[in-house]
Amino acid sequence: MAHGDVTGDFTKTPGWLDWYFRPSKPRFQLPAGAVDAHCHVFGPGAEFPYAPERKYTPCDASADQLFALRDHLGFERNVIVQATCHGADNSAMVDAVRRSNGKARGVATVRRDVTPEQLAELHEAGVRGVRFNFVKRLVDAVPTDALGEIVEKIAPLGWHVVIYFEADDLPDLYDFFSSIKTDVVVDHMGRPDVSKDVDGPEFGLFLQFMRDNPNVWCKVTCPERLTVSGAPALDGEQDAYADVVPFSRRVVEEFPDRVLWGTDWPHPNLKSHMPDDGLLVDHIPLIAPTAELQQKLLVDNPTRLYWHEGV
Ligand code: 0GY
């Protein structure tokens, strides 16, 4: 595969698992106005080539396929997060957001030299945040002073910063994260090691980070990514991803007004199994057990963050 080849040898990363082709219909009925607040589009590569600097080449996963999943699962809206395989070329994500008829918002990746004009165009398309990724297998490190410059540029637009990191890296990044003056949204609970104690020091630091910083929100997402004990049985029995539940539930119950949920479709880089997205939705009542918590998690919180100025 030639780096930068836009003519299209987009050979998938060896061992790549494609998304679940016929997800089940969830038994859990989502509340009206529910938002899938973390999902991606990939390409299609022939139309929106993957970035030369990418660390993986995914299967194509188009906007139309995402919208079909949205309708099938019972969501009304999506937040489409720029994936690292597209680098800072936001075209595929922006195209999807534009074609959603106001039913999607976007989170972009931008470089420190992004101009106010480029940001204004992204805003007009429906972008409301930028993502800073610290996961070493996904990106080369970007110095925090460059990220600080980006924060200065996006703050006047009322945008927020989405951060993706692993629990081991939180101690080093704590002060930088705490210095961000916009809202901050943490992907996948900061990737805790769920084989450790939910009351132990590692997750304790994450909870402290949320307590110390009332501008920090958390996506209680990706049990399929975080689980150590494994996938649910195909009938979606109640102990699905049981090892992740105490972590997600702890965050939902302590910070009910600062949590979001999403499918993470099309689930990049999963190695052991590909989840049925219908069963993932059925997992929600385990982490948000009351109708009030579900309404906040799925409707009120994402609507406040992404659609506060209307559709
Ligand atoms: C996720 C998780 C992953 C990938 C990305 O942008 C990305 O490439 O976010 C991952 O591999 O853990 O949120 O989709």
Whether 62 maps to a domain, the answer reads yes
Whether 17 maps to a domain, the answer reads no
User: CATH number of the domain that 224 lies in?
Assistant: 3.20.20.140
Domain, as residue range, for 195: 35-306
Phi, psi of 116 (to 5 degrees): -60, -35
DSSP H or E run through 218: strand 216-219
- Expressed in angstroms and rounded, the spacing between residue 77 Cα and the centre of ligand 1 is 20
Read off the tokens for 257: 């007004």
Residues marked as catalytic: 264
The domain tally of the chain equals: 1
Whether 98 maps to a domain, the answer reads yes
Mutate to test the pocket of ligand 1, among 164, 226, 265, 277 (most ligand atoms within 8 A of CB): 164
Whether 41 maps to a domain, the answer reads yes
How large is the average pLDDT for residues 99-127? Answer: 98
Per residue in 181-219, pLDDT (tens digit) is 999 999 999 999 999 999 999 999 999 999 999 999 999
Read off the tokens for 63: 């906007």
Whether 99 maps to a domain, the answer reads yes
Report the chain's mean pLDDT, rounded to a whole number. 94
Mutate to test the pocket of ligand 1, among 90, 138, 142 (most ligand atoms within 8 A of CB): 138
Atom 11 in ligand 1: residue holding the nearest Cα = 269
pLDDT for the residue 239: 65
> Using an 8 Å Cβ cutoff, are 299 and 31 in contact?
yes
Whether 29 maps to a domain, the answer reads no
Q: CA-CA distance, 273 to 15, in Å (whole number)?
A: 11
Whether 6 maps to a domain, the answer reads no
Q: CA-CA distance, 151 to 236, in Å (whole number)?
A: 41
- Expressed in angstroms and rounded, the spacing between residue 107 Cα and the centre of ligand 1 is 13
Q: What pLDDT band is residue 229 in, cutting at 50, 70 and 90?
A: confident
- Expressed in angstroms and rounded, the spacing between residue 83 Cα and the centre of ligand 1 is 6
Mutate to test the pocket of ligand 1, among 40, 79, 218 (most ligand atoms within 8 A of CB): 40
Read off the tokens for 20: 């679940």
Per residue in 95-104, pLDDT (tens digit) is 999 999 999 9
Which residues have C-beta atoms less than 6 Å from ligand 1? 40, 83-85, 138, 164, 187, 264, 268-269
Whether 302 maps to a domain, the answer reads yes
pLDDT for the residue 273: 87
DSSP H or E run through 216: strand 216-219
* Residue 29 reports pLDDT greater than 80: yes
Number of Cβ atoms within 10 Å of the Cβ of 204: 12
> Using an 8 Å Cβ cutoff, are 282 and 240 in contact?
yes
- Expressed in angstroms and rounded, the spacing between residue 224 Cα and the centre of ligand 1 is 13
